[in-house]
Amino acid sequence: MAQNQQPLDRTKAPTPGPLPSVSFPRFQERKLSSGLPVYIVENHEQPIVSMSLYVKAGSDHDPSEREGLAAVVADLLTKGTEQRTATQIAEEIDFVGGSLYAGVSWDALTVGATALSRYLEVAVDLLADVVQRSTYPQEELERVQLQRLAGLRHAKADAGFLADMVFGKLTFPGHQYGQQASGTEESLAKTSREDVLSFTANFLRPDNAFLVVAGDVTPASFLSLLEVKLGSWSGSSGKSAEVMSPRLQTGVQVGLIDKEGAVQSAIRVGHVGIARNSEDFIALSAVNMLLGGYFNSRINLNLREKHGFTYGARSSVDARSVSGPFLVSTEVRTEVTVRAIEEIVSEIKNLAVEPVSEAELQMVKNYMIGNFPLQIETPQQVANRIAMIVLYGLDTDYYQTYRDKLAALTAEELHRVAKAYLHPGDLVIVASGSVEALSGGMREFGMLKIFNDEGTLIQTKDTI
């Protein structure tokens, strides 16, 4: 040790250094002759290109008796076109070492392709083909239905799946968010090819979509290629059903799904949250991080470290095009289920009533600010953020100023947001576990509704 060097005190965390400069990469916006907006992130560090076409209609556009329709459409998009069979599509993209995929979220249906830049034309050609000329073969639909039905029957053995299902029904009654994005046995069996064609005719069109491209591309030549492949894409202006903002359900609602003989319970506690474009989203994200968003959160330290109820507990703010769910979730032993729910409710109440300490606030801000650069390391990660800007109508400099907005948060601001958006008196409390063991204790929270594994209400019990 040098003569004047002080010994290192390992009982104290080191003082954080100054924030390194991080700039959100610039992107270009163009529009094809078809009207399709294109957003380009140019990055030549690696010879790879990723493309994602977002259609502004996801599971939130499933008809009430056709839950899971958007998911079925996504499954079928790459399963045959006027020019290629499903096998030919798979073989062509595999031959160049790329990937072609389709998926769905609550807010969007996505078709994507990734390939080495030297095989860019192959990837663009395949993506353009499935977007414009998919035929949705009847035999492929039947295969998808069988696969999804088998997956759904398997999922019903999972307590977490059942808890999520009933939580959605109680939190969003009569709203699209209360439906099952993966479908139900009844809705999947009813889904026809005509339903698929109706969905795509209404929503899969250039004026209801946008393309985000990231990686080793030269914008001018790439746009010329896109113009050839997607410039003549047409689609009539179909009906874009508006998704209404859900209402907060007043009072405490309690649901219990019977898993006979279960030795543990899946717990879900929460209520309607906020939309992604809310001005309070960043502040509420910090509130959520403090409550249950990372390992040192209050709920995790309470349930895991203090009481030993669980391996982990977490909370989330699933902000969507309209107000999605605020949710606390965990899995605990049957005998501590009621006590764990009590602790969760207590933590929500405390955060909604008492201001956070400066120490907690700084810890959360340091974590979120320090973690952000890891979320924009690759071109695809940057492209995903750009898609969020476009999909939710955020300011174009949203991520450029994101860390500054986090750094400026105060304890007073978090207290205001917590009081505004956390509603301990209007919670939905759901447990999936043994009715025999839990029904007595669960009734202390409110009138108990008991469901089967189909999500059907089978019994109601008054409070104690």
Alpha carbons 109 and 34: distance in angstroms, whole number: 19
pLDDT for 340-393, tens place per residue?
999 999 999 999 999 999 999 999 999 999 999 999 988 889 999 999 999 999
The H or E element spanning position 430 is: strand 428-433
pLDDT for 53-63, tens place per residue?
999 999 999 99
Q: What pLDDT is recorded for position 187?
A: 95
Give 447 or 238, the one with higher predicted confidence: 447
Q: How would you classify residue 313: left for phi > 0, otherwise alpha for psi between -120 and 50, otherwise beta?
A: beta
Task: Produce one character per residue of 318-342: b if its CB has 16 or more CB atoms within 10 Å, e if not.
Answer: ebbbbbbbbbbbbbbebebbbebbe
3 state SS of 205: coil
Alpha carbons 379 and 385: distance in angstroms, whole number: 10
Q: What pLDDT is recorded for position 12?
A: 73
Alpha carbons 388 and 108: distance in angstroms, whole number: 11
Task: Produce one character per residue of 121-131: b if its CB has 16 or more CB atoms within 10 Å, e if not.
Answer: ebbbbbbbbbb
Q: Using DSSP, how many helices (H) and how many strands (E) does the chain show?
A: 16, 13
Phi first, then psi: give them for residue 264, nearest 5 degrees. Answer: -145, 170
> Which domains does the chain carry?
28-230 (3.30.830.10), 253-461 (3.30.830.10)
Two tokens at 460? 């109601």
Q: What pLDDT is recorded for position 16?
A: 64
Alpha carbons 312 and 449: distance in angstroms, whole number: 26
pLDDT for 102-158, tens place per residue?
999 999 999 999 999 999 999 999 999 999 999 999 999 999 999 999 999 999 999
- The answer to whether 217 touches 383, Cβ cutoff 8 Å, is no
User: Is residue 463's pLDDT more than 60?
Assistant: no
Phi first, then psi: give them for residue 15, nearest 5 degrees. Answer: -70, 130
pLDDT for 378-413, tens place per residue?
888 999 999 999 999 999 999 999 999 999 999 999
The residue-averaged pLDDT of 184-208 equals: 95
- The answer to whether 442 touches 448, Cβ cutoff 8 Å, is yes
User: Is residue 21's pLDDT more than 90?
Assistant: no
Q: Which of 101, 118, 121 is nearest to 52 (CA)?
A: 101
pLDDT for 266-314, tens place per residue?
999 999 999 999 999 999 999 999 999 999 999 999 999 999 999 999 9
The structure tokens 């992604």 sit at 276
The H or E element spanning position 164 is: helix 159-171
Two tokens at 392? 């939710």
User: Is residue 456's pLDDT more than 80?
Assistant: yes
User: Band of the pLDDT at 26, cuts 50, 70, 90?
Assistant: confident
E strand segments, 319-389: 325-333
Q: Which of 211, 214, 210 is nearest to 50 (CA)?
A: 214
Percent pLDDT > 70 in the chain is 95
Q: What pLDDT is recorded for position 236?
A: 66
Q: Helix, strand, coil shares of the chain as percentages rounded to 5?
A: 45, 20, 35
3-state secondary structure 264-332: EEEEEEEEECCECCCCCHHHHHHHHHHHHHCCCCHHHHHHHHHCCCCCCEEEEECCECCCCEEEEEEEE
Beta pairing, strands 448-451 & 264-272:
unpaired
Beta pairing, strands 457-461 & 37-42:
unpaired
Alpha carbons 429 and 407: distance in angstroms, whole number: 34
Q: In terms of residues, how long is the chain? A: 464
DSSP state of 231: T
Alpha carbons 211 and 54: distance in angstroms, whole number: 6
Q: What pLDDT is recorded for position 240?
A: 66
Residue type, 145: Q
Two tokens at 258? 């019977």
Alpha carbons 370 and 372: distance in angstroms, whole number: 6
E strand segments, 172-252: 209-215
Q: What is the mean pLDDT of the chain?
A: 93
pLDDT for 27-80, tens place per residue?
999 999 999 999 999 999 999 999 999 999 999 999 988 999 999 999 999 999
pLDDT for 210-232, tens place per residue?
999 999 999 999 999 999 999 99
Count CB-CB contacts under 10 A for residue 223: 19
Alpha carbons 360 and 289: distance in angstroms, whole number: 10
Q: What pLDDT is recorded for position 25?
A: 87
